[in-house]
């Protein structure tokens, strides 16, 4: 678009947009351009890990790239609107979006939160959201709230209708939803419920309430089935195109029998139960998808997904210096965790087995998948444990059986799905070398995965996500630092301090690891590796040239890496078209 007068051009703006159709019904579900699509969704917070809350274009794009590579086709912003940069990345890469407005309306959740400003600002903020999203074909949902406390009241239902109507007045082409937590509609009965869930000898001072919250998935199903929950959310649900249910899978079929036209989506769900959720999604047309909490780990709600062992605090979160929630499929540095590969297999996107090992030093009290916690397993066969000690190994697979081979001989054979769908476990004696999981269906091998014991780290490996970037402050170079042996295998046992120096037209934007509990600053020029790795983020200053990164680790030779910074036009590989969202 150009604006001109008699003297010539005054202003110019360019907007990229896409055209696609959305349709919805309880028989064919969600259709994009006439094709039914199930949503493999990830909730994401606004922070970018070691970058903190900074919104830099390349960091947003990288998140979308890695989430899509992990099998997701949709993102729910939690619980504030996505940045324009992330929406642009979703358009280019083919990621669908549920863009969310508010975490609260008029009732507060914390001191001095948005509820104090909601009556004066909600309309302006909704207008800004819709104006921002309007040209982005990736956006298919507007969510008018998350776990709004007043949703189960007539007053909350009136507010919901007002919000939904205003959104539709600005943009009638998208679907309106609301992420409803039925438990919060029953706050008047919650104290009694918590008292029942807590141990009889627990007092208010010894974490009884927190312990009950930590085990909420054990009682959530029964609680969500209460007829009162269905009654209290009915009015708020009636005004929505799609009813978002947080941890409300037990209502998917209950409400369908009484409200057959209602279409639902799991707007927030426990990661450990994706096998159950995905079966509901695939078997019932009116359940159009699932959004796990979370796709990407985040800063805050510290420790809600941490493994909990006997003798440790069993509360909802974790005390300082815990930093991350420790619950994402992908950690804050962009590395996939074991649950991510499990989810990919459940989705039917991966047929090669994935191998992980429960920590041998905690074997007497294994952590089972529960709520926001996966088993305390790591994809490593490098352990400081005596040879012959029993170790529990896990293989995730869509096959019938898995054989575990240790150094060329079969150490165990296990049935898949005996204790949990798509999982085979076995106890084998630890022996350094090579551990393999070999999957079989009907007696025929379908794939294998292996782990190799690392020798002592002998060098530092640095790998940039791209060797050429734009000389633009909205671009970034992400460099993975690893402590590896002579064969290039990461040694996760003996972490070391690493320091970095940068020369050339870049600045150090961030340095850190996925360690969930740390007092190290992401702004420092040194950190301690976590499980043998760290991440560096370099940001261009705007000038062209060559940047040189030097990484030093205690006791190892320093390593340098060159990164070319070119003009944005030269660095670009060509215009990327808007993706076909039908195949997202």
- Answer whether CATH 3.30.465.10 is correct for domain 459-571: no
Residue among 43, 19, 39 at smallest CA distance from 29: 39
Query: What's the whole-number average pLDDT of the chain?
Result: 92
Burial label, 305 (beta-carbon count in 10 A; 0-12, 13-18, 19+): buried
pLDDT of 219 strictly over 60: yes
Residue among 395, 380, 513 at smallest CA distance from 454: 380
Query: Are the beta carbons of 362 and 409 closer than 8 angstroms?
Result: no
Domain covering 351-452: architecture: Sandwich (2.60)
CA gap 482, 532 in Å, rounded: 6
Give the model's pLDDT for residue 208.
45
Give the model's pLDDT for residue 111.
92
CA gap 278, 260 in Å, rounded: 20
DSSP letter for each residue of 137-157: TTEEEEEEEES-TTTTSHHHH
Domain pair 351-452 / 459-571, same fold: yes
Centre a 10 Å sphere on the Cβ of residue 294 and count the other Cβ atoms it contains: 24
In sequence order, the 6+-apart residues with CB closer than 8 A to the CB of 302 are: 317, 318, 319, 320, 322, 323, 324, 325, 326, 516
CA gap 263, 241 in Å, rounded: 7
pLDDT of 151 strictly over 60: yes
177-179-182 Cα angle (round to 5): 125
Q: What average pLDDT does range 303-318 have in this prediction?
A: 88
Instruction: Name the pTM for this structure.
Output: 0.94
Helix axes 57-69, 84-93, angle to 10 degrees: 40
Domain boundaries, the chain: 33-343, 351-452, 459-571
Give the model's pLDDT for residue 582.
55
pLDDT band (50, 70, 90) for residue 193: low
pLDDT of 125 strictly over 60: yes
Question: CA 563: distance to chain centroid?
Answer: 29
CA gap 213, 220 in Å, rounded: 10
SS (H, E, C) 342-355: HHHHHCCCCCCCEE
* Ranges 30-39, 169-178, 180-189, 259-268: which has the least confidence: 180-189
| 3 state DSSP class of 326 | coil
CA gap 216, 327 in Å, rounded: 15
174-180-183 Cα angle (round to 5): 175
The string of pLDDT tens digits covering residues 221-230 is 777 888 999 9
Helix axes 274-283, 338-346, angle to 10 degrees: 20
Give the model's pLDDT for residue 304.
94
Give the model's pLDDT for residue 192.
72
Kind and range of the H or E run holding 307 = none
CA gap 206, 186 in Å, rounded: 25
The string of pLDDT tens digits covering residues 449-465 is 999 999 999 999 999 99
pLDDT of 62 strictly over 60: yes
Q: What average pLDDT does range 366-392 have in this prediction?
A: 94
| 3 state DSSP class of 371 | coil
The string of pLDDT tens digits covering residues 194-214 is 666 554 544 444 444 445 555
Q: What average pLDDT does range 509-520 have in this prediction?
A: 98
Domain covering 33-343: architecture: Alpha-Beta Barrel (3.20)
């Amino acid at each position: 678009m150009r604006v001109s007068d008699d003297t010539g051009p005054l202003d110019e703006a360019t907007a990229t947009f896409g055209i696609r159709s959305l349709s919805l019904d309880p028989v064919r579900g969600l259709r994009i351009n006439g094709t039914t699509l199930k949503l493999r969704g990830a909730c994401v917070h606004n922070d970018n890990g070691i970058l903190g809350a900074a919104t830099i274009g390349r960091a947003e794009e990288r998140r979308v790239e890695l989430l899509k590579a992990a099998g997701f086709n949709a993102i729910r912003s939690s619980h504030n609107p996505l940045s324009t940069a992330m929406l642009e990345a979703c358009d280019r890469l083919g990621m669908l979006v549920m863009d969310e407005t508010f975490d609260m309306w008029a009732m507060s959740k914390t001191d001095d939160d948005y509820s104090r400003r909601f009556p004066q600002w909600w309309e302006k903020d909704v207008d800004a959201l819709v104006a921002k999203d309007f040209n982005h074909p990736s956006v298919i949902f507007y969510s008018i709230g998350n776990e709004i406390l007043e949703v189960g009241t007539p007053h909350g239902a009136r507010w919901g209708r007002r919000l939904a109507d205003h959104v539709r007045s600005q943009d009638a082409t998208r679907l309106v939803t609301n992420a409803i937590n039925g438990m919060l509609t029953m706050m008047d009965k919650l104290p009694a419920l918590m008292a029942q869930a807590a141990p009889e000898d627990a007092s208010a001072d010894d974490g009884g309430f927190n312990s009950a919250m930590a085990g909420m998935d054990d009682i959530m199903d029964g609680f969500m089935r209460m007829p009162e929950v269905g009654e209290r959310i009915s009015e708020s649900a009636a005004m929505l195109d799609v009813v978002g249910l947080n941890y409300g899978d037990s209502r998917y079929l209950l409400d369908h029998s009484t409200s057959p036209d209602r279409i639902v989506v799991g707007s927030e769900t426990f990661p450990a139960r994706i096998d159950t959720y995905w079966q509901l999604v695939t078997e019932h047309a009116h359940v159009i998808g699932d959004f796990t909490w979370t796709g990407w780990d985040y800063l805050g709600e510290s420790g809600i997904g941490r493994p909990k062992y006997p003798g440790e605090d069993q509360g909802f979160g974790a005390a300082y210096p815990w930093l991350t929630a420790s619950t994402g499929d992908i950690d804050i540095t962009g590395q996939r965790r074991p649950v991510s590969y499990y989810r990919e297999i459940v989705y039917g996107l991966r047929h090669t087995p994935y191998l992980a090992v429960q920590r041998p030093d905690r074997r007497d009290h294994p952590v089972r998948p529960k709520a926001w916690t996966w088993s305390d397993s790591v994809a490593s066969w490098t352990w400081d444990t005596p040879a012959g000690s029993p170790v529990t190994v896990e293989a995730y697979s869509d096959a019938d059986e898995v054989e575990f081979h240790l150094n060329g001989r079969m150490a165990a054979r296990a049935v898949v799905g005996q204790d949990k769908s798509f999982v085979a476990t076995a106890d084998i004696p630890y022996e350094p070398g090579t551990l393999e999981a070999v999957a079989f269906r009907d007696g025929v091998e379908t794939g294998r995965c292996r782990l190799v014991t690392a020798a002592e780290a002998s060098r530092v490996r640095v790998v940039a996500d791209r060797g050429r970037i734009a000389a633009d402050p909205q671009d970034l170079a992400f460099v993975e630092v690893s402590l590896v042996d002579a064969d290039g295998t990461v040694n996760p046992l003996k972490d070391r301090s690493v320091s970095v120096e940068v020369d050339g037209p870049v600045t150090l934007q961030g340095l850190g690891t996925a360690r969930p509990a740390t007092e190290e600053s992401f702004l420092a020029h040194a950190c301690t590796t976590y499980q043998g790795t760290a991440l560096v983020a370099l940001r261009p200053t705007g000038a062209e040239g060559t940047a040189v990164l030097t990484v030093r680790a205690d006791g190892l030779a320093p390593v340098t890496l060159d990164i070319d910074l070119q003009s944005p036009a030269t660095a670009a590989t060509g215009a990327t078209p808007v993706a076909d969202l039908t195949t997202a």
